[in-house]
Structure 1
Amino acid sequence: MQAVGYFLQVAVRYLGFFSISTKQWWFSTNTLKTILFFVFALLFISHKVHADNFNKYFIQEVTVCYDDVGGLTAANFFEQKCEQVSLDKVEPTSKLIWIGTSFDLDLPKLTDKPLGLFFSAKASGEFYLNGQLIGSNGTPSLTKEGEIEGVMDTVIYVPKELIKKRQNEWVVKLSAHHSRHTMSNFISFAIFTQYESPQDIVLRNYLPSFVPLGVLFIGFVFSCALAALQSKRQRNVLLPIFALLVALQLLVEVSRGLISYEYSFQDTRLLAILLLSILSGQCLLLYTIRSFVRQGQWIWFALSMSFTLVIVYFGATIEDKTVLAFQIPAGICLLITGYESYRKHALAIQHATAFFVFSVAIAAKPNAFLDIYYYYFVAFLLVFFSIQHAVAYKVEKSQKLLAQANAQRLQHALDEYKEQQQPSKIKLNLSGKIEWVSSDLICFVKGARDYVEITLSDGRCLLHNEGLAIMEDKLPATFLRVHRSYIANKHFIQSLEKLSSGGGNLSLTTGDSLPVSRRIMPKVKVQLN
């Protein structure tokens, strides 16, 4: 949790909203709590909406007839001897396609809202129920020229008076001349449900995905902040690129519930999702190789990418290809981090555990993974990697500050040694003359408005016509500012007494006593130690 907190501090500082003080850290922590509250609230609401499973009737098995000459009608469809298949196995052709089935539907069990037929397919269609035309989506035809292209998702209003309790006959006339690819299912859904916008029905299924979308967006901003703050040697831009690619993939996925588009665009949309999945998978792979592989990084990446593309090419459906495009790189990342864990590489065991959980989730439910789990687990990986980067940045910053402090102490010691070996000469502007005084003879300097009083070891007190700040810049490293009005030569310091007020008294070997301010007291103690 400290790493998470530090990670948030880094991002807030980069954005310039707050400086990291105790009070403002409390504020940023409570801001985080507020954000998490709304995230979990959205997750709960989306779950409730998603779980609001009002009564539906799914068409699963249909009879399929292919019409070469346009002689089939809804009236004579069930007189034909055609093939019976599951709905998702219906194949598109250059002919007219008729599908139909009979079903029982007890209408009183349904909602009292208007009834509709939600139909999702890469085709134009005319819909018949019990011999009556109830609607169309575009215009199906024997030829491409005669077809008017329909949309991918449509809802057809179903008059309740047409519904019978027994033996309802449902027939659809289809053509798909504008379909560009055949990598995805020809027909996705056919559902009798309450009548509403098709985008509302689709979006309800995607609503839980807005939670990981928010996580991806926040992760993108934070990882950009970390990349900007880190040194060039430690900077890794792959993490924000990874977050951006997955967020774009999710947006393309959700776009089906936001806009209505013609069915010919469906495979283009799925190809875009596949391409983004390939890119995000390779970005994850390159991130892991750069983090854990010491030699031949680009060779390992080229071999792994080639292997991934070959496996993706042989995927049966575009959905399988999309899962494999990320599953294979994640598996390779698991092997790399697992091997590095065996070799006791720092942080490898944490990465290996994260990739193992991800791989098990895919293996457990590969078919449901893309729709349900994918973006949640990718968001989990992004949060995990971001925390690791925050930890790395904190370590790097601590090491940098330590190195700077060591360098300053070394330089200070060298300056003091040089001053001891060969004391510098200080030019003093006295009344009417200029005098050069060796620095090792000066006991302390006291500010007197625009002048300074310089006390020497021989007991003399000289009045120099420059301010204390200018004098401080001229004095060598053997001198220490102990008060806003006093600078002492460390060689003449005998003891330091701490007072109850927080300040102190500095006793010199000359018998003089100088005040030490409470603000400068810690610095004086460090210098004297």
Structure 2
Amino acid sequence: MFRLLLLILSLVTLPAAANAQTFQRANSEGAIICPADGLNAAPPDFTGAGCEETGLTELNPQGRHLWLRTSITLRDTILNGQSPLGFYIAGKASSRVWVNGHELKNNGTPGPDRASEIPGLMDAVLYVPREILTSGENEIIVEMSGHHSLIELIAPMHALGIGEYSNPTLLILGAYWPSLITFGVFLLALVFFGVVALREEKREGPLLLALLALAAGVQLIAEAARGLLYYPYPWHDYRLISIAVAAVCTGLLLLAWLMQRFSGLNAVQRYLRLGGVVTVCVSIALTTPGFDSKAGYGFLTASLFAAAWCALWSWQKKPGAMTYLAISAGMSLLLLVFQGEFLDFYAFYAFAGLLLFLIQQQAAELVRTRREKREEAIRADKLELALAQARQRTAPEQIQLVSSGRVDYVATDTITQFKGAGDYVEVHLEGGKTSLYNGGLSALESDLPPTFLRVHRSHIVNTAFVSALERDASGIGRLLLSNGQEVPVSRRIMPKVRSALAEG
């Protein structure tokens, strides 16, 4: 109902270049409908058997082929304007239109059955020449049929009227575009939580939030589709079904995420309980007339279950549960107060705000987790270095070094540093002795115990002999060894060296 009112309001308030747009709807009372008896027949005289008087709000062409006669009272402000005029017809029907006896362009092709009917647009505007209009009442005759309807709506016809010619989808979009701002948030949340779900070990929570963002985005696009696309009227049924399914799924996914976060139950227990809620929501949605009501009551049911469980978790003193009690209870209250308006507009802002809050929370959690993992890695490296140093003191390793014509096995605890010298390596020993061997530092580095650290492209030092680390203003540093030697430290690996020495 609210979307119907918005459409009518949009049509009534079409913008003009200089002055407020004028638009006149068909007179709501005194309309006559008659059954049609063939394809491409001339309009009847509306006095035969089967004809009856009706109001436009009761007009229902779904599964029928009929004729309608009504009138539109036009003011001089419409007739004296300069802009072209159009006849607007919005509803689930194909139609042929006559204004004061002049036939306009068809909106699809009405017919006596599904095979002969060509579906018209859900929202169409037909050009009306000014010269066929008169001040005061103008006769409107419409042949219409709706054999391609998938579902039967309570109010399938939304508007008939004459006004300045304009794109009807853009007029409807004017009511929806503020909500479309939230689509960027839903897309951001879908990507963010989707990536988190793929990369992190605990995937269920982020995956549920990614699906929640997807469901909210689908509902938003389905809501705004009438203002984004020209579509034939049978698509309107799929649009309404999409809105209802997405609204219920949004509520259920929020509930599933809350249960995963606060319930403390295992996955089987949680989803068995959630299955019961799904059954209740689906039953209510299927038995409720009207698709606005189906979407609203289905979402409300899930939201009330969420509020009830959040109240229980709050009573159990679970941190954060009170916040989500306020959120779920607030959504339920707003839906009861604003009804369809809440799902059409306010729900998108509510979910966008919630998802932005959860993105911030998840980002903070990721930073905290990364920091903890980094600290754990530092502690593990520190333990490994301590163990390596202990092994070196009690049972030092030996490394094989090759020179011309001989192979030496040197205990690593006696080596203070290795220095690259072209295709050779200088080995500096604790007593000050230096020897030259074949090979390069890169090949040698992989064979050394963890107590050895490469601090420069030409230097590997034994951290057991480091007595100090100095750093100048440019960022370049040097190590002072216990035997008085100095070893340069490159700026690029200075943080790693500082960290390694701190661990040692």
Whether the TM-score (by the shorter chain) exceeds 0.5 is: yes
Report if the CA contact (8 A) 1:341-1:348 is conserved: yes
What is the aligned partner in structure 1 of residue 207 from structure 2?
237
User: Counterparts of 1:438 and 1:136 in 2: how far apart (Å)?
Assistant: 97
Helix, strand or coil for the counterpart of 1:236? Answer: helix
Counterparts of 1:347-366 in structure 2, within 5 Å, are: 347-348=320-321, 351-356=324-329, 358-366=331-339
Which consecutive residues of structure 2, in runs of 5 or more, have no partner in the other structure? 1-12
What is the aligned partner in structure 1 of residue 59 from structure 2?
90
What is the aligned partner in structure 2 of residue 15 from structure 1?
none
1:123 matches 2:93: yes
What is the aligned partner in structure 2 of residue 299 from structure 1?
272
Q: CA 1:495–1:372 in 2, change beyond 3 Å: closer, same or farther?
A: closer
User: Counterparts of 1:233 and 1:177 in 2: how far apart (Å)?
Assistant: 47
Q: CA 1:451–1:138 in 2, change beyond 3 Å: closer, same or farther?
A: closer
Q: Offset at 1:412?
A: 1.7
Aligned amino acid, residue 299 of structure 2: F
Helix, strand or coil for the counterpart of 1:117? Answer: strand
1:294-335 Cα distance to aligned partner (Å, 9 max, x none): 212112211111121122123221122123333433443344
1:29-75 Cα distance to aligned partner (Å, 9 max, x none): xxxxxxxxxxxxxxxxxxxx997762222346223545368799776
Report if the CA contact (8 A) 2:419-2:426 is conserved: yes
Counterparts of 1:415-454 in structure 2, within 5 Å, are: 415-430=388-403, 432-454=405-427
Report if the CA contact (8 A) 2:194-2:206 is conserved: no
1:122-151 Cα distance to aligned partner (Å, 9 max, x none): 234454545665565456567778766544
User: Counterparts of 2:103 and 2:457 in 1: how far apart (Å)?
Assistant: 95
1:271 matches 2:244: no
Alignment equivalent of 1:193, drawn from 157, 163, 169? 163
Report if the CA contact (8 A) 2:477-2:490 is conserved: yes
What is the aligned partner in structure 1 of residue 287 from structure 2?
314
Alignment equivalent of 1:58, drawn from 18, 21, 25? 25
Residues 330-339 or 401-410, more deviating: 330-339
Which consecutive residues of structure 1, in runs of 5 or more, have no partner in the other structure? 1-48
Q: CA 1:311–1:433 in 2, change beyond 3 Å: closer, same or farther?
A: same
Number of aligned residue pairs: 478
Aligned amino acid, residue 190 of structure 1: L
Report if the CA contact (8 A) 1:505-1:513 is conserved: no
Aligned amino acid, residue 227 of structure 1: A
Q: Offset at 1:253?
A: 4.1
Percent identical pairs in the alignment equals: 29
Q: Offset at 1:118?
A: 0.8
Q: Offset at 1:404?
A: 2.0
Report if the CA contact (8 A) 1:124-1:140 is conserved: yes
Q: Offset at 1:419?
A: 1.9
User: Counterparts of 1:469 and 1:269 in 2: how far apart (Å)?
Assistant: 64
User: Counterparts of 2:21 and 2:361 in 1: how far apart (Å)?
Assistant: 44
Alignment equivalent of 2:34, drawn from 54, 67, 78? 67
User: Counterparts of 2:479 and 2:36 in 1: how far apart (Å)?
Assistant: 110
Q: CA 1:91–1:416 in 2, change beyond 3 Å: closer, same or farther?
A: same
Q: Offset at 1:346?
A: 4.8
User: Counterparts of 1:214 and 1:61 in 2: how far apart (Å)?
Assistant: 41
What is the aligned partner in structure 2 of residue 290 from structure 1?
260
User: Counterparts of 2:500 and 2:94 in 1: how far apart (Å)?
Assistant: 84
* TM-score normalized with structure 1 length: 0.75
Q: CA 1:350–1:395 in 2, change beyond 3 Å: closer, same or farther?
A: farther
User: Counterparts of 1:461 and 1:318 in 2: how far apart (Å)?
Assistant: 88
User: Counterparts of 2:472 and 2:166 in 1: how far apart (Å)?
Assistant: 79
Q: CA 1:315–1:64 in 2, change beyond 3 Å: closer, same or farther?
A: farther
Helix, strand or coil for the counterpart of 1:294? Answer: coil
What is the aligned partner in structure 2 of residue 228 from structure 1?
198
Root-mean-square deviation over aligned CA pairs: 4.0
